[in-house]
Amino acid sequence: MSEFPTVRPRRLRGTAAMRRMVAETRLHPADLILPAFVREGVAEPVPVGSMPGVVQHSRDSIRKAAVEAAEAGLSGIMLFGVPEEGKKDAVGTPGTDPDGILQVALRDVRAEVGDALVVMSDLCLDEVTDHGHCGVLDAAGNVDNDATLERYAEMAVVQASAGAHMLGPSGMMDGQVGHVRAALDAAGFQDVGLMAYTVKYASAFYGPFREAVNSSLVGDRRTYQQDAPNAREALRELELDVAEGADIVLVKPGLPYLDVLRGIADASPVPVAAYQISGEYAMVEAAAERGWVDRERAIEETLTAFKRAGADLILTYWATEFAGRLRSGT
């Protein structure tokens, strides 16, 4: 007589209610942050071709998107400004102009939602420079780390003045968190937080984002963003950013770096965010359009992977949509 198993893990998988009861990882709308693009000089939203469902917002539509995000229960919205092409220059002047599109959008969104969302802003030069790099270039065409820090400090004060609750220094300059923190404190913005892009790899998955911000990039960013084979240096970056005053640390991209995310989550004394970037989004949308994957299940599975790997917060272009599904129980 053959022996049958007495230990049967399948007992806990038999029904949806049973699976829900024993789920080890749970997603909540407040785990999610919506990245959103605001384009100067447009009256209507402009679709981003490589990111189906994502748009470059007008000033009116970003207000509506922020209200929808708040009503869906999201914790925050991260704004990226897209200036008119002729306004970009070598030092990213629109980034420190109080009337630059990002600062205008910050004021618009704060006026619309107040403190119902954590209103965040990208603190980087890549969207506002004519060369598309995240910093100021020296005479040889290389990104000058310390000259860039001075620009970041100026940008931080302008963004805080426009109403941002939290800034996202994303350029991967050495010392950026400490330099920005000192500038904010000196200007009286001690309560403005920093979500440090602590781990940001030079990735092939940023392509659609560059369309979304009308990037002018010439060359690549390998001299300042991290190299894909390296994980240990991410922990070094974590130690530095926390010491410099980071309130939240972020890992970007997401899915290709879940091992790094897990390591950061295990070591971090502050909350950890993961950014599900444009290329990750575009792959699922493209495959779903062709019927190759179940779109809704793929979205849920990828977001669950971030949470399971240790992310407290997830930046995703599906944030409002998925929060609605969570709230409706679907």
Identify the CA nearest to 180 among candidates 264, 99, 108, 95. Answer: 95
Residues forming the active site: 200, 252
User: pLDDT, tens digit, for every residue of 283-325?
Assistant: 999 999 999 999 999 999 999 999 999 999 999 999 999 999 9
| Token digits of residue 55 | 């748009």
Q: What is the pLDDT of residues 103-134, one digit of tens each?
A: 999 999 999 999 999 999 999 999 999 988 89
Tokens 């997401």 found at: 254
Please say whether the dihedral angle defined by the alpha carbons of residues 88, 92, 95 and 96, taken in this order, is positive or negative. Answer: negative
The residue to which tokens 């917002």 are assigned: 57
> What's the token pair of residue 14?
């038999």
Q: What is the pLDDT confidence band of residue 1, given thresholds at 50, 70 and 90?
A: low
pTM: 0.95
Other Cβ atoms within 10 Å of 44 Cβ, number? 11
The rounded mean pLDDT for the chain is 95
From 246, 278, 91, select the one nearest 170 (Cα to Cα): 246
